[in-house]
């Protein structure tokens, strides 16, 4: 009996690696895809198929999907997890960096979807699971490019859900909150590189302190992987799953508060966490 086939992008670390492990444990024939193939040896040891993939390279995507279809003849689940966070003031982040943020987070996701759809349509079945973020609903200070990319994923997923329903294909969004991963380190590096000096330096420090403070309460990647399990396995999956530190509380606040009230809440949170971090630094000196 053929096993269902699941593809996970960004599987070389953190959330993506845990998603691949969970789906394997749940009986899927899993393909873990990432640029850093050398970081996926642990997945190889579990019997997970690992392959090179750069979602920003269309030829790379086409080659990977062609190989998987040739090997298995089917694709049942696509988990679009690959992505990164580019932070910094819009005025100071080079436009090329902003474009690359969208190329990876948005166009990379869309290219993956385009590549798997012919197979899923022929099957008249399939599930596309897009890893978004609470930042797809709530704006973060100094995060315009990243937040914009995740807002885009939210809207695209809603449109795709209508478009693909007649073909028996489900589109599901997973919205993680604060999760322990390499994402925060990359985001902070980008923030420091672009805006640590100059007119936005004060706000950059607040944003950096906020990331530092909230990382202490970060959930483990398995929390998000369990949400993906439900999205992949449930007979009638929800259109959205949210989880991880602060996710449900933040999304609830976004739903009930006005824009100005939400702005005031976020501003207060940034100031409070910044004071906490600065106080802790002063004590430890």
Q: Is 146 a catalytic residue?
A: yes
For residues 265 and 252, what is the distance between their CA atoms, to the nearest angstrom?
13
For residues 138 and 57, what is the distance between their CA atoms, to the nearest angstrom?
29
DSSP H or E stretch at residue 128? strand 126-131
| SS3 category, 155 | helix
Q: Which of 210, 221, 246 lies closest to 137 in space, CA to CA?
A: 246
For residues 262 and 147, what is the distance between their CA atoms, to the nearest angstrom?
15
State how far the alpha carbon of 240 is from the alpha carbons of 84, 128, 228, 231, in Å. Answer: 21, 12, 10, 8
Other beta carbons less than 10 A from residue 115's beta carbon: 21
State the Rg of the chain over Cα: 19
Report CA torsion sign: 86, 91, 97, 99.
positive
Q: Which of 52, 84, 100, 146 is catalytic?
A: 146
What burial letters (b/e) apply to 120-146, b meaning 16+ CB within 10 Å? beeeeebbbbbbbbbbbbbbbbbbbbb
DSSP H or E stretch at residue 90? none
Q: Which of 168, 171, 3, 157 lies closest to 78 in space, CA to CA?
A: 171
Residue that has been written with the tokens 């589109």 in this structure: 171
Give the pair of three-digit tokens for residue 278.
């600065």
Which residues are known to be catalytic? Answer: 146
């Amino acid at each position: 009996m053929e096993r269902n086939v699941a593809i996970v992008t960004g599987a070389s670390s953190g959330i993506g690696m845990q998603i691949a492990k969970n789906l394997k444990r749940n009986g899927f024939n899993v393909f873990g895809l990432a640029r850093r193939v050398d970081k996926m040896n642990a997945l190889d040891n579990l019997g997970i198929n690992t392959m090179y993939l750069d979602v920003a390279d269309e030829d790379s995507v086409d080659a990977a999907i062609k190989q998987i279809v040739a090997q298995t003849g089917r694709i049942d689940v696509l988990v679009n997890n690959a992505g990164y966070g580019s932070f910094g003031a819009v005025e100071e982040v080079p436009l090329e960096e902003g474009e690359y943020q969208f190329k990876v987070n948005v166009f990379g996701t869309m290219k993956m979807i385009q590549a798997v759809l012919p197979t899923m349509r022929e099957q008249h079945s399939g599930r596309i699971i897009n890893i978004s973020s609470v930042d797809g609903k709530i704006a973060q200070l100094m995060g315009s490019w990243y937040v914009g990319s995740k807002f885009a994923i939210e809207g695209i997923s809603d449109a795709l859900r209508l478009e693909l329903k007649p073909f028996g294909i489900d589109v599901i969004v997973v919205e993680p909150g604060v999760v322990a991963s390499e994402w925060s380190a990359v985001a902070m590096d980008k923030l420091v590189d672009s805006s640590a000096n100059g007119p936005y330096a004060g706000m950059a420090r607040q944003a950096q302190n906020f990331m530092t403070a909230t990382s202490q309460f970060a959930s483990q990647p398995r929390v998000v992987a369990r949400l993906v399990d439900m999205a992949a396995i449930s007979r009638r999956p929800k259109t959205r799953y949210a989880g991880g530190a602060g996710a449900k509380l933040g999304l609830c606040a976004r739903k009930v508060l006005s824009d100005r009230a939400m702005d005031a809440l976020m501003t207060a949170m940034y100031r409070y966490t910044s004071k906490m971090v600065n106080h802790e630094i002063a004590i430890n000196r």
